[in-house]
Amino acid sequence: MSDPIDGITLRLGDLATEKPVLTPDINPEPVAQAPVEEKKEEDDSNLIQSTHVVQVKLADQQADPNSPLFSVKSFEELGLSPELLKGLYAMGFTKPSKIQERALPLLISDPPRNMIGQSQSGTGKTAAFVLTMLTRLHLGVNAPQAICLAPSRELARQIIDVVQEMSKFTSITSKLVVKDSLKRNEPVQAQIIVGTPGTVAEVIKRRQLPVKAVKIFVLDEADNMLDQDGLGDQSIRIKNMLTGSPQIVLFSATFPEHVRKFATRFAPEANEISLKREDLSVDAIKQLYMDCDSEEHKYETLCNIYDLLTVSQSIIFCKRRDSADEIARRMRAQGHLVGSLHGKMLPEERDQVMDDFRRGIFKVLITTNVLSRGIDISQVSLVINYDLPLDQRGQVDFEAYLHRIGRTGRFGRTGVSIILIDNKKSWEQMREIETHFSREIALVPTDDWQAVEKIFKEII
Ligand code: ADP
Ligand code: MG
């Protein structure tokens, strides 16, 4: 069942009924006032002005049938409770995005059905599955009923924040389960659990977290969670511990063919919502590259970018933890205010760096693939691929690339991504990316910074 109008393919699970899936109590009066005002949390800084511009553009995009942010329905029509609607409006959500509008009615209808959902980065997948978890709970039962897993600590923390924001007008309880977030032997009684697979598996095994009442199991970044050895094994182990045959919900911006097959076994008879391959690349992100003569020239070019351009916030991706540390050390020695984050750091260090970056205490974050997925910081307008992401065989990892650049250009915003090339191999790999996504990656000079600045100003 494909819908030629908006480019989203909808495949209903075999057992899906023909009937409309929801009968909402249509409430013509929004529960709370829509939110342009709400966003003005700070004084009259530049931040507000840019937020305002974004709001205007956002409305345009949400009215454009070709935009992934388009919807014909309101949140009221999606059948959510008044308390959840209030939470959504307080967060500044006025209208659902396309994936929310399409997925939510299927996700919250009864009997519960599995879902495999795919849409571009920054189009609001989180709210789709968080609202589903919040809707599925029996409020009188004080035990875990929903488990959501994410591939990194940082993403799990971000999702639990969304859960808590959205549910703040309800009595729903939630708990983050990542390394060091629980006291030893502390029993987990919260209704919604968000965590990383290793820690969640461990606390279930130790019987700290009862799973008898779990009725929904969500994997964010599902292709990643089901693919690689570690995460995949653990997600499967956890699923096998959930004896109450929960609804299984998988979301990602990417589902490469080999994972999709497995996903359909992991979530049998799922409703599927997916985008055409060519719609995956986000056109709000301008993709550029700079041609450097050597590794050292590449480093100098990186510093020049920050000396000469005024970017709000940016993320630099490198291939290894030690290269992230090394670049951060050199940039700091030259007076740049930067942070670095990778998997070898202690949990509390990682939390501190992430919190500081979110609060804008430093503007440049140097990291590895650990932050390539899911992180949502609207102020990030530039992503730099200092090294291109490669898979274990040394080939370009197209999915990782798409997720990395998707850290900018979120929910209707524009962004820039730059690949720094320093040899023939990396140049060829850049060309492969161009071909794979059928999108031009434009050359920017490394010796004409006025031209570079002009290109930037036009985009951001
Ligand atoms: P995805 O998981 O699809 O990459 P996210 O769920 O992280 O995207 O959402 C991207 C951003 O869009 C977030 O900052 C989120 O708060 C915002 N957002 C999501 N849905 C809406 C909506 N309906 N209205 C306004 N903003 C939204
Ligand atoms: Mg996401």
pLDDT band at 51 (very low <50, low <70, confident <90, very high): very low
- Residues of the chain with pLDDT > 70, as a percent, come to 83
Regarding the beta carbon of 68 and ligand 1, being less than 6 Å apart is answered: no
- CATH 3.40.50.300 positions along the chain are 2-279, 285-459
pLDDT band at 16 (very low <50, low <70, confident <90, very high): very low
Q: Which pLDDT does position 275 carry in this prediction?
A: 66
Q: Which pLDDT does position 79 carry in this prediction?
A: 82
Which residue type is seen at 440? E
| pLDDT tens digit sequence for 220-230 | 999 999 986 66
Residue nearest to atom 18 of ligand 1 (CA): 124
Q: Which fold has domain 285-459?
A: Rossmann fold (3.40.50)
Is pTM, for the whole model, over 0.85? yes
Beta strand segments in 181-257, E: 192-195, 216-220, 247-252
CA 154 / ligand 1 centre spacing (Å): 17
| pLDDT tens digit sequence for 379-438 | 999 999 999 999 989 999 999 999 999 999 999 888 999 999 999 999 999 999 999 998
Within 10 Å of residue 436's Cβ, how many Cβ atoms?
Answer: 15
In the predicted model, what is the mean pLDDT of the chain?
85
Is the per-residue pLDDT at 316 higher than 60?
Answer: yes
More confident residue, 332 or 56: 332
> End-to-end CA distance of the chain, in Å?
38
Q: What are the start-end ranges of the H helices in 41-143?
A: 46-62, 82-90, 98-108, 125-136
Regarding the beta carbon of 97 and ligand 1, being less than 6 Å apart is answered: yes
For tokens 């591939």, the residue is 151
Residue nearest to atom 15 of ligand 1 (CA): 124
Is the per-residue pLDDT at 263 higher than 50?
Answer: yes
Q: Which pLDDT does position 22 carry in this prediction?
A: 33
Q: Which pLDDT does position 90 carry in this prediction?
A: 97
State which ligand 1 atom lies nearest to the alpha carbon of 376.
7
Is the per-residue pLDDT at 269 higher than 50?
Answer: yes
∠ Cα 402 102 77 (to 5°): 135
Q: Which pLDDT does position 92 carry in this prediction?
A: 95
Most confident of 44-58, 73-87, 296-310: 73-87
CA 342 / ligand 1 centre spacing (Å): 25
Distances (CA, A) of 244 to 188, 193, 194, 201, 212: 18, 16, 18, 16, 6
**CB contact at 8 A, 75 and 96:** yes
Is the per-residue pLDDT at 43 higher than 60?
Answer: no
CA 448 to chain CA centroid, Å, is: 35
Domain 2-279 - what CATH class? alpha beta
